[in-house]
């Protein structure tokens, strides 16, 4: 967030069905758990301040993230 210029380009390029990027006050927030790894936000960022997790490129998003919603451990 220290590098972000709050241009919202990443937000506009994130697929709306994911909703992984949103504004929270003056900050732009990316929720990794909602990110599909499509990387559409990366080339949109004019200051290159979005850093993907390299292990996700090889392994994909950890599957245990998708097991908790709706389970007994889900706080919602």
Task: Please report the domains of the chain, with CATH numbers, ordered by start residue.
Answer: 9-62 (3.30.70.20)
Could you tell me the CA-to-CA distances from 13 to 46, 50, 73, 76 in Å, in that order?
A: 12, 13, 32, 28
Whole-structure pTM value: 0.63
Sign of the dihedral defined by the CA atoms of residues 52, 54, 60, 61, in that order: negative
User: What is the distance between the terminal CA atoms of the chain, rounded to a whole angstrom?
Assistant: 28
**CB 53, CB 76: distance < 8 Å:** no
pLDDT at 58 (0 to 100): 57
Tens of pLDDT along the chain (76 residues) come to 688 898 999 999 998 888 899 888 888 888 888 888 888 999 999 999 988 776 655 566 667 766 766 778 776 6
What pLDDT, on the 0 to 100 scale, is given for residue 47? 94
């Amino acid at each position: 967030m220290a590098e972000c210029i709050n241009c919202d380009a990443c937000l506009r390029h994130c697929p709306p069905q994911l909703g992984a990027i949103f504004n929270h006050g003056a900050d732009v927030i990316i929720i990794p758990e909602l990110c599909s790894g499509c990387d559409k936000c990366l080339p949109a960022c004019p200051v290159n301040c979005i850093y993907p997790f390299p292990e996700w490129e090889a392994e994909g998003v950890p599957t245990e993230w998708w097991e908790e919603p709706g389970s007994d451990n889900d706080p919602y």
